[in-house]
Amino acid sequence: MKKNVLILSLLCFFPLLRAQENITYQKPSKEILELAEYERAPSISMTSDKEWALLMYRNTYGSLEELNQDELRLGGLRINPKTYIGSRTNFLNNLKVKKVTDSKETQVQGLPENPMISNLTWSPDESKLAFTNTAENGNELWVVDVKNAQAKKLTAPILNANLGNPITWLKDSNHLLIKVLPENRSALVDSKKMIPTGPIVSTGNQGVVSQNRTYQDLLKNKTDEANFENLATSELYVIDLNGGKKLFKSSAMYDEESLSPDGKYLMITTLEKPFSYLVPYYRFPMKTKVYDLQGKEIAEVNDIPLNEIMPKGFMAVRKGKRNMGWRSDAPSTLYYVEALDEGDPANKVEYRDAVYTWKAPFDKAPQLLTRTPQRYAGISWGDDDIAIVYDRWYDTRNVKTYALNPSKGGDLKLIWDRNYQDVYSDPGNFQQKKNEYGRYTLLKNKNKLYLIGDGYTPKGQFPFIDELDARTFKTKRLYQSKFNDRIEKISEIIDINKGDILVNIQSKTDYPNYFFRNIKRKGKLKQITFNPNPFESIKDVYKEVIKYKRKDGVELSGTLYLPANYDRKAKTEKLPLLIWAYPTEYKDKNSAGQSTANPNEFTFPYYGSFVYWVNKGYAVLDDASFPIVGEGKEEPNDTFIEQLVMNAEAAIDAVDDLGYINRKKVGVGGHSYGAFMTANLLTHSDLFACGIARSGAYNRTLTPFGFQSEQRNYWEAPEVYNTMSPFMNAKEMKTPLLLIHGEADNNSGTFTLQTERYFQALKGLGAPVRMVILPKESHGYKAKENILHLLWEQEQFLDKYLKD
């Protein structure tokens, strides 16, 4: 008898002793599957005159077959060594064109069989499109004649797209500069078969301090160096539309090519040696030279050394020329920025950055244009009389907008001085149009400039168009959307004198579509795209943006979904609640309490949220506010845990006060930093019955030189790093947790190891935890097989712990 009892006990506990389950790919229930298996609407690109539109199609999901390709991870890149393009590239599979005002779409003829299209590039005159098609052994160059909807192949699979788009149109729209694989390139080296000639040795120098993030996919040895150089090396050719090509520049590691607005000069940047095992390729040494169209070198305009040493802080930049580019309002003038504080935000100076201009042929010294009190944050060129300059400072979340006369240079004239997290005061973005060089510059009508704003207010979202007087900086409201049952997002001003604009209109049940509107003719609308709602099964769910406060008075919000058949009046059934969130840091409570949620936004469920589960009888609070505030000299993370719990408690209280939920049946989830949030909430509160954490980092000592919005390193704030690390507090975590991670995560700091080690700690301490590693996936998930299984795992887990 005792023997039988012992055998029964062992059988009962055997599932708990297994290391892993032998499981094949599963699919979620019908209610979720019908939402997940939708057909993706095409994305759209229009010519600047809004005469022609290109419709671009791709599959809703990728496949395991796509992910199961050869891949080399070098210098921060992931490359397919057979096809010479990024191994995680999302390809288009079809193209159509249409006259914007017509409903008829025309299939582009002559496309390759089973196309894998990327690197789409409009010609300067917008009559043609160039693209790469990735074949089995490389990238072909193709061109589309837009009006005739006809595609033509120009080359065999010889293009090198490892460092980005290998196509640059020349000014005449009849020739292109392309990156071509050298014919005499050597074979790649198999590192697994190489016998090392010695160890790998790195050194640090006494007193040389640097604060680099935890990068992935870095070079590790001499074999990696050789393979990276091989894959990054190209020849530059000029090719015509008949396929005739001529060598422009011989082999080098070409990183970027840029044509001057007048089409007379090419600025070309090459990667140089020595390489680094500490930083990605974009911090390797670089040289930038300018050539004429015959390939003659005009000048070397930049020489950047290896950049392994960086000061601390998000406002730190390297020394030397940076942000170099062509002025879009001049024929052939470069501009660039140089730090006046040695790139170190800790240095106290009157001006942080200087902006210079440099006219071709660069035989005279660059001219100082202006200086910025804070870190340079961009410039919008207009004409000889005006440009708009921005600077910003992360520690105060401040951004300033200035007017500058580029002909005179000198002092900046302040237009706005604001907190960039204060969305209610956002003046909008300056609108641009194509100039005589085919480059985008400020839309200017006499002395008036124009802004389009998102229009967030305490009462809702009402996008607008403002006119700014460039002399007085006073604004005048020209148009403001007044919809209360939908969202009208203003995309572009087409003709300010006629009042023609392009808008995108959507509602919670109407898929976003484009319309022409005339703001001078009683807002007349003309629809130009006709995308249907692919999610009919949730069109009748209840959706509301709820606003509430946490106990310290900070305003919060979230989008609440209830099942379509739920009786909101009787409230006899108490629903389980799912909360999906992502923490955000702020420097003031006012900005933290502002809401950008809109109940009229189209309900677009996808695997990255819990909205699917409203079809399974759950209440869902999506995109719940989780601000982490540090006012004045306080750092947000000093009270991260306390604020996290306050946010969660306020969210549950708010929905519970409405009478809809069983507060003992609440689950929480998040991705990346949201996963980190989830693990901390389960560790430091008893508010939740379970949690789902996807692709997160749980041990902050493994990211010792900063993470997310934390600028201090571990040795400056060890208590913050330790307190915020769920791994360090694993013995306190007793709530069921589903951990999910991509096997090949490429995001800085969120190594797959983070989930594996956290799982081992929780399992070893007896916590109820399940870990799912999705084969081949990186930080975001792509393969349909993995995504559907992910949904199945979440469904089984939530039903078990929230529906018994």
Residues 6+ apart with CB under 8 A from 146: 47, 52, 54, 97, 126, 127, 128, 129
Closest CA to 200 of 273, 272, 276, 271: 276
**Which is catalytic among the residues 671, 684, 779, 789?**
779
Residues 6+ apart with CB under 8 A from 693: 669, 670, 674, 675, 676, 678, 679, 737, 738, 739, 740, 755
- DSSP for 54-98 reads EEEE--SSB-HHHHSS--EEETTEEEETTTTEETTPPPB-EEEEE
How would you label 544-582 residue by residue, b for 16+ Cβ within 10 Å and e otherwise? Answer: ebbebebeeebbbbbbbbbbeebeeeeeeeebbbbbbbb
d(CA 477, CA 483): 17
- DSSP for 463-517 reads -EEEEEETTT--EEEEEE---SSSEEEEEEEEETTTTEEEEEEE-SSS--EEEEE
d(CA 14, CA 341): 64
Sign for the CA dihedral angle at 176, 177, 183, 188 comes to: negative
**Which is catalytic among the residues 672, 695, 725, 748?**
672
Q: Could you count the other beta carbons within 10 Å of the beta carbon of residue 191? A: 15
d(CA 106, CA 558): 42
- CB of 380 closer than 8 Å to CB of 443: no
Token readout for 256 is 């970027």
- CB of 139 closer than 8 Å to CB of 121: no
Tokens 């890149």 belong to residue: 77
For residue 583, give Cα distances in angstroms to 57, 240, 626, 789: 33, 51, 5, 27
Q: Which helix (H) or strand (E) holds 224?
A: helix 222-232
Q: Which helix (H) or strand (E) holds 17?
A: helix 2-17
Q: Which amino acid is at 691?
A: G
Token readout for 748 is 């800085």
3-state SS class at 601: coil
- CB of 519 closer than 8 Å to CB of 479: yes
- CB of 99 closer than 8 Å to CB of 149: no
**Which is catalytic among the residues 255, 625, 745, 748?**
745
d(CA 44, CA 23): 40
Closest CA to 461 of 493, 477, 483, 490: 483
User: Cis omega before residue 274 (within 30°)?
Assistant: yes
d(CA 239, CA 159): 12
d(CA 42, CA 336): 37
Length of the chain: 804
Whether 745 is catalytic is: yes
d(CA 354, CA 366): 12
d(CA 56, CA 92): 7
Closest CA to 769 of 803, 804, 741, 743: 741
Token readout for 804 is 């018994």
d(CA 772, CA 792): 11
Known catalytic residues are 672, 745, 779
